[in-house]
């Protein structure tokens, strides 16, 4: 008979505008009832050509671009890029700068993990945790404002250090945050972590084995949930991370529950790091002594001849940048965020390639969701913490 | 113990005649008042401005007190299209498709520099402002704008909603505006 | 810095194909010829003496003034011993074909598509080599040095006022 007993599959379009895809990317799913047979992805809906723009901007202007990649944890991008440039130029920053950088990067990591975890809650129906946690993020925004002047796209730091030291107001705000967050975090955990419904929805969902994860190039909490303890802060320490003691939480199955728990534990470890760094903040200068890359103080520019000449040379691009290439990576909130800079002299990089962790691990999504149902696919996507700005770049 | 009296400033009522137990005004003012305090936004959040919008919806800045407690992700049930973030050329047709599906009355607010004019991304792949594809009512500058600025933009949309004519969708000017974007609605065939 | 034992292993095995070993400040950098690139990556990935099991990133580069203008650069990482290596290969402008490494690393799939999208380098054997980030109807490869950053058809921004 004509088509009566024949099985047909439904093709549905998840995105690019969809409440559950946090960011603009499209998945075309082929469903057999509710079970997913295959998935095909389209990305590039927010492609802003960062790598091309970076070839047309001087080194100190690219910091504002890096903000907009992973906009949930912008300081990590900023400071990671500045560390890559400092590695290219051969600049060694004083210890105080390193500790200040650790504090800001760990605060950024906390905010990113808080967004990801609360959004996993929202996607499984629990809106309360989201609202509680966002109230605490406002405190971090106030800290960013004290240090750099902006809430979200911070443009933090300069080549060689920071533009200003931590003010007493900034330090008191950090201490306030450190005292307030643990209580809210425990409340958030009580809501979700041993919640029967949440556990049933997330355990065994969207799992990936360690070998497949490594083959795909996973890094960060997604890889640590699969059981591989690769953390750039421990393997290639940068910015004096080796002065500190912190644990690397690991999962076992690589499923959504493991990713949630790994991120939650990383927030506790980051809190410990911030507290240690703030308590042991060494005295010293907040910038390295590199007058050819670090803009002098405005009072000196208007009164001293040498500062005026350095200011002119830096802004007009008369400084000779050494030729060479460098690859430097930091532990971003999503994994190994790498910067590959090729310099042919001149004030602009010849090639700047960003190793964006989201772009690399998002390819594995079809493998993780086929065989599961649609609602599991939604949770898997949100637990992988895909940020569209970093995905497309 | 002395009690301190708190003074609350009330919003002024629209122009009309008030008496014992009644208030008379024109129909479009009443409808405008109802519309402006119950706008259901569609958060079309693509990038960083979307995170500032999430902060605006949070408890600290609370967009819900303006009547937009319920966000609608379906354009058929939304009044206000809030485009927040960079719109690339790949995304332009999608914005237009979402706009066309919205029912009248509808407003569009372009939040952030990227949605207003392309922002810092003067590149080959970014649409230089969403007014290339949809008509925009309010532009909120900033990169990203503070939540207070987003609320200010929202309040300007409220002003527009309060004073808009009920026959606007049938006016020649509006139809010509939509035609210039390549949007032909079924209203165009009305002869009213 | 250059890892001498590692480069010796490579030179012993692929004598003619290893063109240049550069002394860059962060990791061993090896330039190989296009014909043996897949074998080099396979050797680095599978041989127990080298053990580079992780592909960190893959990108393209364009030097318009050189005889072999287009380059593909691989960064590999050996996690057990914490060694990184950078492998470069260069292609002529009229023959932009290079074998794919998606059979060794599944993660290279999208990275090669991005390199194709930006530079037009064709990866032979790739399962789905189409544009990934740009619109499908784009008819040029934007990251090549001859194309400008700005969209030349935009009307609202006048280049005279933007200093370009």
* Chain B with chain C: Cβ pairs closer than 8 A: 30
Could you tell me which CATH number the domain at A50-292+321-392 has? Answer: 1.10.645.10
A320: confidence class by pLDDT, cuts 50, 70, 90: confident
d(CA A137, CA B102): 33
Structural domains in chain C?
4-162 (3.30.460.80)
Q: Looking at beta carbons, which residues of chain C come within 8 Å of B89?
A: 135
Residue B150 falls inside a structural domain: yes
Question: Is the model's pTM score more than 0.90?
Answer: yes
CATH of the domain at B60: 3.40.50.12280
3-state SS, residue C1: coil
Give me the domain span that covers residue B124. 35-179
> What is the percentage of chain B residues whose pLDDT exceeds 70?
94
- Quick check: B69 pLDDT over 90? no
**What average pLDDT score do residues A230-240 get?**
91
Q: Looking at beta carbons, which residues of chain A come within 8 Å of B85?
A: 46
**What average pLDDT score do residues B13-39 get?**
88
pLDDT tens for each residue of A78-94: 999 999 999 999 999 99
Q: What is the pLDDT of residue B192?
A: 35
- Quick check: A65 pLDDT over 50? yes
Chain A nearest C-alpha distance from C110 (Å): 7
Contact B123 C149 (CB under 8 A): yes
Strand pairing partners for A10? A31
- Range with the poorest average pLDDT among A5-9, A23-27, B61-65, C44-48: A5-9
- Quick check: A205 pLDDT over 80? yes
3-state SS, residue C77: strand
Q: Regarding predicted confidence, which is higher, A128 or A82? A: A82
Q: Looking at beta carbons, which residues of chain C come within 8 Å of B118?
A: 157
d(CA A246, CA A264): 14
3-state SS, residue B106: coil
Residue from A275, A270, A277, A279 nearest A111 by CA: A270
Nearest to A153 among B59, B88, B144 (CB): B144
Contacting partners of chain B (3+ CB pairs under 8 A): A, C
Q: Are the C-beta atoms of C114 and C133 separated by less than 8 Å?
A: yes
Residue B11 falls inside a structural domain: no
Chain C nearest C-alpha distance from B117 (Å): 9
Q: What is the DSSP letter of B132?
A: G
Mean pLDDT of chain B: 88
Q: Are the C-beta atoms of A277 and A102 separated by less than 8 Å?
A: yes
B159: confidence class by pLDDT, cuts 50, 70, 90: very high
Nearest to A48 among B55, B123, B146 (CB): B123
The Cα-based distances of C141 to C65, C131, C136 in angstroms read: 18, 10, 11
Residue B96 falls inside a structural domain: yes
Residue B10 falls inside a structural domain: no
Mean pLDDT of chain A: 91
d(CA B48, CA B57): 15
A99 class by beta-carbon count within 10 Å (0-12 exposed, 13-18 middle, 19+ buried): buried
How many domains, chain B? 1
**What average pLDDT score do residues A300-317 get?**
91
Interface test with B, best of C134, C135, C140, C146 (most B CBs within 10 A): C135
Q: What is the pLDDT of residue C6?
A: 82
Residue B184 falls inside a structural domain: no
Q: Looking at beta carbons, which residues of chain C come within 8 Å of B128?
A: 151, 154, 156-157
Contact B129 C156 (CB under 8 A): yes
Q: What is the pLDDT of residue B10?
A: 73
Q: Give CA A336 to chain center in angstroms.
A: 9
A317: left (phi over 0), alpha (psi -120 to 50) or beta: left
d(CA A295, CA A302): 13
Peptide bond into A172 cis (omega under 30): no
Residue from C29, A253, A153, C20 nearest B142 by CA: A153
Token output for C6:
């590692």
Q: Give CA B49 to chain center in angstroms.
A: 15
Interface test with C, best of A353, A386, A388, A389 (most C CBs within 10 A): A353
B191: confidence class by pLDDT, cuts 50, 70, 90: very low
C36: left (phi over 0), alpha (psi -120 to 50) or beta: alpha
Chain B nearest C-alpha distance from C59 (Å): 20
- Quick check: A14 pLDDT over 90? no
Q: What is the pLDDT of residue A273?
A: 93
- Quick check: A1 pLDDT over 80? no
pLDDT tens for each residue of A145-182: 999 989 999 999 999 999 899 999 999 999 999 999 99
Q: Are the C-beta atoms of C72 and C121 separated by less than 8 Å?
A: yes
Q: Looking at beta carbons, which residues of chain B come within 8 Å of A49?
A: 121, 123-126
Q: What is the pLDDT of residue C164?
A: 59
- Domain(s) labelled CATH 1.10.645.10 in chain A stretch across 50-292+321-392
Contact B73 A152 (CB under 8 A): no
Restricting to A residues 336-365, those with a Cβ less than 8 Å away from any Cβ of B are none
User: pLDDT tens string for chain C (164 positions)?
Assistant: 566 778 888 888 888 777 777 777 778 888 999 889 999 999 999 888 888 999 999 999 999 999 999 999 999 999 888 889 999 999 999 999 999 999 999 999 999 999 999 999 999 999 999 999 999 898 899 999 999 888 777 777 777 776 65
Token output for B83:
């485009």
Contact B58 A131 (CB under 8 A): yes
Residue C67: partners with Cβ closer than 8 Å, 6 or more residues away: C92
Residue A166: partners with Cβ closer than 8 Å, 6 or more residues away: A100, A146, A147, A281, A286
A16: confidence class by pLDDT, cuts 50, 70, 90: confident
d(CA C82, CA B57): 45
End-to-end CA distance of chain C: 40
- Quick check: B150 pLDDT over 90? yes
Chain A nearest C-alpha distance from C74 (Å): 11
- Range with the poorest average pLDDT among A5-9, A146-150, A296-300, C26-30: A5-9
B67: left (phi over 0), alpha (psi -120 to 50) or beta: left
Q: What is the pLDDT of residue A74?
A: 93
Token output for A173:
């705000």
End-to-end CA distance of chain A: 52
A184 has a chain B CB within 8 A of its CB: no
Q: What is the pLDDT of residue B160?
A: 92
B122: confidence class by pLDDT, cuts 50, 70, 90: confident
Residue B185 falls inside a structural domain: no
């Amino acid at each position: 008979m004509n088509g009566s007993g024949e099985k047909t599959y439904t093709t549905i379009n998840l995105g690019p505008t969809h409440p559950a895809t946090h960011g603009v990317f499209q998945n075309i799913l082929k469903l057999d009832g509710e079970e997913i047979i295959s998935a095909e992805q389209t990305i590039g809906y927010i492609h802003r050509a960062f790598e091309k723009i970076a070839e047309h901007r001087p080194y100190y202007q690219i910091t504002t671009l890096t903000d907009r990649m992973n906009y949930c944890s912008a300081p990590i991008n900023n400071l990671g890029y500045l560390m890559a440039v400092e590695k290219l130029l051969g600049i060694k920053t004083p210890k105080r700068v390193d500790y200040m950088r650790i504090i800001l990067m760990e605060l950024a990591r906390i905010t990113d993990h808080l967004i990801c975890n609360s959004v996993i809650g929202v996607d499984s129906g629990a809106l309360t945790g989201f609202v509680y946690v966002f109230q605490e993020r406002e405190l971090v925004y106030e800290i960013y404002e004290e240090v750099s002047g902006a809430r979200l796209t911070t443009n933090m730091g300069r080549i060689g250090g920071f533009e200003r030291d931590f003010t007493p107001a900034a330090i008191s705000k950090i201490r306030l945050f450190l005292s307030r967050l643990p209580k809210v975090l425990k409340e958030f955990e009580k809501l979700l972590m041993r919640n029967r419904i949440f556990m049933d929805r997330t355990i065994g969902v969207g799992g990936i084995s360690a070998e497949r994860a490594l083959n795909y190039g996973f890094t960060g909490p997604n890889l640590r949930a699969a059981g591989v303890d690769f953390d750039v802060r421990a393997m290639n320490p940068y910015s004096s991370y080796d002065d500190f003691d912190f644990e690397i939480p690991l999962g076992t199955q690589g499923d959504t529950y493991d990713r949630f728990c790994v991120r939650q534990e990383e927030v506790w470890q980051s809190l410990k790091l911030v507290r240690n760094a703030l308590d042991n903040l060494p005295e010293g200068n907040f910038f390295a002594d590199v007058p050819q890359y670090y803009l002098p103080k405005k009072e000196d520019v208007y009164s001293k001849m040498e500062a005026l000449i350095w200011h002119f040379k830096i802004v007009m691009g008369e400084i000779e940048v050494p030729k060479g290439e460098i690859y430097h990576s930091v532990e971003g909130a999503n994994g190994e965020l790498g910067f590959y800079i090729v310099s042919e002299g001149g004030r602009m990089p010849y090639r700047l390639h960003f190793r964006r962790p989201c772009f690399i691990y998002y390819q594995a999504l079809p493998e993780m969701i086929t065989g599961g149902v649609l609602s599991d696919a939604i949770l898997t996507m949100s637990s992988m913490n895909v940020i569209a700005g970093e995905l497309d770049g | 113990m002395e009690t301190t009296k708190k003074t609350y400033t009330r919003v002024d009522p629209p122009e009309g005649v008030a008496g014992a137990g009644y208030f008379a005004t024109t129909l479009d003012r009443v409808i405008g008042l109802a519309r402006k305090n119950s706008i259901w936004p569609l958060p079309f959040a693509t990038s960083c401005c979307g995170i500032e919008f999430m902060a605006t919806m949070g408890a600290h800045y609370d967009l819900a007190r303006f009547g937009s407690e319920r966000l609608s992700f379906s354009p058929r049930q939304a009044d206000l299209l809030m485009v927040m973030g960079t719109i690339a050329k790949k995304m332009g047709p999608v914005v237009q498709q979402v706009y066309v599906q919205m029912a009248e009355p509808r407003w569009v607010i372009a939040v952030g520099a990227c949605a207003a004019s392309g922002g810092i991304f003067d590149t080959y792949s970014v649409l230089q402002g969403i007014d290339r594809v949809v008509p925009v009512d309010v532009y909120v500058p900033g990169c990203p704008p503070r939540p207070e600025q987003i609320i200010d933009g929202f309040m300007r949309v409220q002003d527009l909603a309060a004073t808009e004519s009920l026959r606007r969708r049938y006016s020649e000017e509006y139809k010509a505006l939509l035609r210039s974007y390549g949007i032909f609605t079924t209203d165009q065939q009305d002869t009213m | 810095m250059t890892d001498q034992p590692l480069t010796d292993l490579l030179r012993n095995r692929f004598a003619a194909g290893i063109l240049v070993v550069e002394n860059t400040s962060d990791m061993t950098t090896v330039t190989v010829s296009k014909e043996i690139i897949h074998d080099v990556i396979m050797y680095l990935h599978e041989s127990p003496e080298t053990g580079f099991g992780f592909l960190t990133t893959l990108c393209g580069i364009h030097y318009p003034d050189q005889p072999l203008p287009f380059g593909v650069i691989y960064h590999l990482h050996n996690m057990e011993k914490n060694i990184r290596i950078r492998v470069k290969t260069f292609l002529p402008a009229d023959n932009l074909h290079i074998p794919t490494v998606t059979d060794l690393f599944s993660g290279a799939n999208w990275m090669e598509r991005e390199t194709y999208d930006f530079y037009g380098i064709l990866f032979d054997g790739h399962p789905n080599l189409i544009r990934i980030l740009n619109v499908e109807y784009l008819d040029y490869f934007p990251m090549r040095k001859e194309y400008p950053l700005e969209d030349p058809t935009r009307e609202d921004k006048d280049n005279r006022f933007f200093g370009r």
